[in-house]
Amino acid sequence: MLTLIENAEVFGPEPLGSKNLLIGGGQILAVDAGLDPIGLPLVRVDGSGMLLVPGFVDSLVHISGGGGEGGFTSRTRPLQARDALRAGVTTVIGALGTDDVTRSHADLLACAYALREQGLAAWVLSGSYHLPLRTVTGSLRDDLVLIEAVIGVGEIAIADHRGSQPNAAELARVAAEAGVAGLLAGKRGTVLVHLGDQPEGLALLWQCRRQYRIHPSRWLPTHMNRQRALLDQAADWLAAGGAVDLTASTTEAMLSDGEVDAGLALAELLALPQGAGRITISSDGQASLPQFDAEGRLTSIGVATMDSLLAAVQRAVLGHRVPLPLALDAVTATPARLWGLAGKGRIAVGADADLLLLDRDTLAVRQVYSAGQARL
Ligand code: ZN
């Protein structure tokens, strides 16, 4: 069945004006101002007064559940497709985190395939917080080359007491191996790096550049807004050709502990000359949100939600005056490009019909299309 979405103001994420969109077979078939195919059976959707934007691409979701840092009862549950779709997320990149003992890549892949069956686009990362890497096949190269759904590595933890305290040589080897496997498989093989609270921040990644010629674009450092001092390191990283990921989910305690709200952090980074097209925001959905005291003891724990991503975009645009196309870019076109997901994160003829109708004033989600199907 074909669907014609009429008279919405389209951001692809760049402003395209008021357009009609014809979708069918899971793809965008035509984008035109006066488009009205005669004689075709159509579902017509009135988009008047609404914004039509690409479905969000979320670079870090613990789709098989995360947590566990407060004992077994603190393990979080797997992602439900409806929780992502309701929040405007149509593509997720699934990863393991701290717990790679009770969580496995087999389970991660099964969760991704289940999400696909429910209309969500889903890929996964090999590896976890720790080195040596946990993988599916025993080899990172084999994972990336032979398993379609594996598109990168991570999140590997640095500057964090929960990580395996890798050195630059170990990290560089992972990036090099992912790069080679990416070439063989036609993937980008991006390495997602979890940044913890320790003051060295990106130092190891800079060392990888100096000593092993690993270009900053091989990595996507995440949680860059978790501390003001870490966010301050983003300027030099962007200037050197790197990209950064901001984390949308947070708690009041984390904010008062020094985290910078993702909407505000986006506004600040976009003011830098190299900011545009290099910044992504992810939800860290289904992660636990643990608080530790000075001695590393867990003091409280929460769960990160998928709707944090949309809320961050809303705060950036409505609260911090970030232009809508730039805020959208950080959750659509840029993450799709950084992960090498052709067809995702943009509105254009031939792209996948993953789309959101948003309220023009509040940016609330009114309808979600994934693979061309209305989901709400
Ligand atoms: Zn993390």
The CB density around residue 251, as the number of other CB atoms within 10 Å, is 16
Is the predicted pLDDT of residue 292 greater than 80, yes or no? Answer: no
Query: Sorting pLDDT into bands at 50, 70 and 90, what band is 87?
Result: very high
Give the pLDDT score at 249: 95
- Reported as a single tens digit per residue, the pLDDT across 307-356 is 999 999 999 999 999 999 999 999 999 999 999 999 999 999 999 999 99
98 CA to middle of ligand 1, Å? 8
Burial (CB count within 10 angstroms: exposed 0-12, middle 13-18, buried 19+), residue 236: middle
- Lookup: tokens for 85: 């779709």
**Inter-axis angle of helices 168-185 and 203-212, to 10 degrees?**
70
User: By the 8 A CB rule, do 99 and 68 touch?
Assistant: yes
57 or 288, which is more confident: 57
| Confidence (pTM) | 0.96
Handedness of CA 59, 61, 64, 69 (dihedral sign): positive
Give the pLDDT score at 147: 98
75 CA to middle of ligand 1, Å? 15
Give the pLDDT score at 281: 98
Burial (CB count within 10 angstroms: exposed 0-12, middle 13-18, buried 19+), residue 198: middle
Give the pLDDT score at 35: 86
Give the pLDDT score at 84: 97
What mean pLDDT, rounded, does the chain reach? 95
58 CA to middle of ligand 1, Å? 13
Give the pLDDT score at 265: 98
354 CA to middle of ligand 1, Å? 26
- Reported as a single tens digit per residue, the pLDDT across 108-144 is 999 999 999 999 999 999 999 999 999 999 999 999 9
Q: Respond yes or no: is residue 107 known to be catalytic.
A: no
25 CA to middle of ligand 1, Å? 36
pLDDT, average across residues 42-48: 96
Burial (CB count within 10 angstroms: exposed 0-12, middle 13-18, buried 19+), residue 286: buried
Give the pLDDT score at 364: 98
290 CA to middle of ligand 1, Å? 11
Give the pLDDT score at 8: 97
Helix, strand or coil, per DSSP, at residue 295: coil
- Reported as a single tens digit per residue, the pLDDT across 175-192 is 999 999 999 999 999 999
- Reported as a single tens digit per residue, the pLDDT across 206-246 is 999 999 999 999 999 999 999 999 999 999 999 999 999 99
DSSP string across 202-217: THHHHHHHHHH---GG
- Reported as a single tens digit per residue, the pLDDT across 240-273 is 999 999 999 998 888 998 999 999 999 999 999 8
Is the predicted pLDDT of residue 52 greater than 90, yes or no? Answer: yes
- Reported as a single tens digit per residue, the pLDDT across 267-291 is 999 999 888 899 999 999 999 887 7
294 or 274, which is more confident: 274
Question: Which of 58, 143, 261, 284 is labelled catalytic?
Answer: 284
Whose tokens are 């636990």? That residue is 288
Give the pLDDT score at 1: 84
Query: Sorting pLDDT into bands at 50, 70 and 90, what band is 17?
Result: very high
239 or 35, which is more confident: 239
86 CA to middle of ligand 1, Å? 23
H or E element that contains 86: helix 81-86
